């Protein structure tokens, strides 16, 4: 149970209602996820986080939505954030990830969590690589 009682859709007014309405219209959701209903207890954080979602996840760019959702799973898994692993695995599935792609994703996640620690544990010095110009 969240630390604070969530703001349910029928309780929303003002800025919170605006965000909920925009969210339902933009994401074609039938209900507001618990994360957003909890953020709504602090309206400015709800509004700015939702703006950031739209800019980062909802705007077409160079990375497609499925790629971004798989990156979200990789980060949430590495941070062991139960809520986000669950939510963004679902979002990646909705964006087209099947069992085979999930298997490859988990293999990549496992491999880099392993080599990250081995390179740190052995105190390996960085190689010199060209940067972006």
Residues 68-107 that bind a second copy (CB under 8 A): 68, 70-90, 93, 98-107
Torsion of CA 90, 71, 112, 86, to 10 degrees: -20
* In the complex, minimum distance from the CB of residue 10 to a second copy, in angstroms, rounded to a whole number: 18
Q: Which two tokens stand for residue 66?
A: 């499925």
Which range, of 9-17, 18-26, 47-55, touches a second copy by CB under 8 A?
47-55
Considering only residues 4, 8, 11, 15, which one is a binding residue for a second copy as defined by CB under 8 A? 4
The yes or no reply on residue 7 touching a second copy (CB under 8 A) is no
Q: Which two tokens stand for residue 60?
A: 């077409």
The yes or no reply on residue 56 touching a second copy (CB under 8 A) is yes
* In the complex, minimum distance from the CB of residue 27 to a second copy, in angstroms, rounded to a whole number: 13
The number of residues that bind a second copy (CB under 8 A) is 84
Sign of the C-alpha dihedral computed for residues 91, 68, 61 and 20 taken in this order: positive
State the angle between helix axes of 43-56 and 14-27 in degrees (0 to 180), rounded to the nearest 10.
20
Alpha carbon distance 35, 84 (integer Å): 9
The yes or no reply on residue 19 touching a second copy (CB under 8 A) is no
* In the complex, minimum distance from the CB of residue 125 to a second copy, in angstroms, rounded to a whole number: 6
Alpha carbon distance 103, 99 (integer Å): 6
Report DSSP state, residue 121: H
Considering only residues 9, 18, 53, 58, which one is a binding residue for a second copy as defined by CB under 8 A? 53
* In the complex, minimum distance from the CB of residue 96 to a second copy, in angstroms, rounded to a whole number: 10
């Amino acid at each position: 149970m969240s630390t604070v009682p969530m703001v349910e859709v029928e309780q929303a007014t003002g800025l919170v209602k605006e965000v909920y309405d925009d969210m339902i219209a933009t994401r074609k959701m039938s209900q507001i996820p618990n994360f957003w209903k909890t953020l709504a207890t602090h309206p400015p954080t709800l509004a700015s986080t939702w703006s950031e979602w739209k800019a980062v996840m909802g705007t077409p760019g160079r990375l497609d939505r499925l790629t971004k959702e798989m990156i979200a799973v990789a980060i949430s898994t590495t941070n062991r954030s139960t809520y986000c692993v669950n939510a963004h695995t679902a979002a990646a599935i909705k964006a087209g990830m099947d069992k085979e792609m999930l298997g490859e994703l988990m293999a990549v996640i496992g491999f880099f969590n392993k080599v990250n620690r081995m390179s740190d544990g052995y105190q390996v010095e960085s190689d010199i690589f060209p940067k972006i110009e």
